[in-house]
Amino acid sequence: MTRTTETGSWLARRFQGRGIGTAMRQIIAAFAFDHLDARHVTSAAFSDNVASASVSRKVGYTENGVDIWAREGKPVPHQRFQLSRGNLVRCEHPLIVSGLAAFRRSIGLDT
């Protein structure tokens, strides 16, 4: 098992710039590390998506290579990011989890 998971998000423009996307990524990464025993969390964004890359860096992700993806029939750089537990910049919002044992079993972490 690699103990790696991937995050991705999309936030309507009218909600951007309020810290919602940053908090969302911080909370899901904290959940992965603290409750799913993840070693790494990955993410990616098109290289021209400055806001998404900024959120990743703010949360503690570091660059982890570039792929080339097709977008509207044209090749576009797609920046990969990786986050380790020690680099996570945690948010101030508490994470309250219920149903964890059943969820861990359902995804094969526990028998």
Please write the tens of the pLDDT for every residue from 24-47: 999 999 999 999 999 999 999 999
Cα dist from 53 to 7, 41, 103, whole Å: 13, 15, 30
Q: How far apart are CA 15 and CA 104, in angstroms?
A: 32
Q: Given this model, what pLDDT does residue 2 score? A: 84
Q: 28: which 2 tokens?
A: 């899901």
**Residue 63 and residue 81 in contact, taking contact as beta carbons nearer than 8 Å:** yes
Phi then psi for residue 55, to 5 deg, are: -65, -45
- pLDDT, block means (10 residues), the chain with 111 residues: 86 91 94 96 94 94 96 96 97 91 93 79
Helix, strand, or coil (residue 81): strand
Domains of the chain (ranges; CATH) run 4-106 (3.40.630.30)
For 59-78, b/e burial (b = at least 16 CB within 10 A) is: bbbeeeeeeeeeeeeeeeeb
Whole-prediction pTM:
0.88
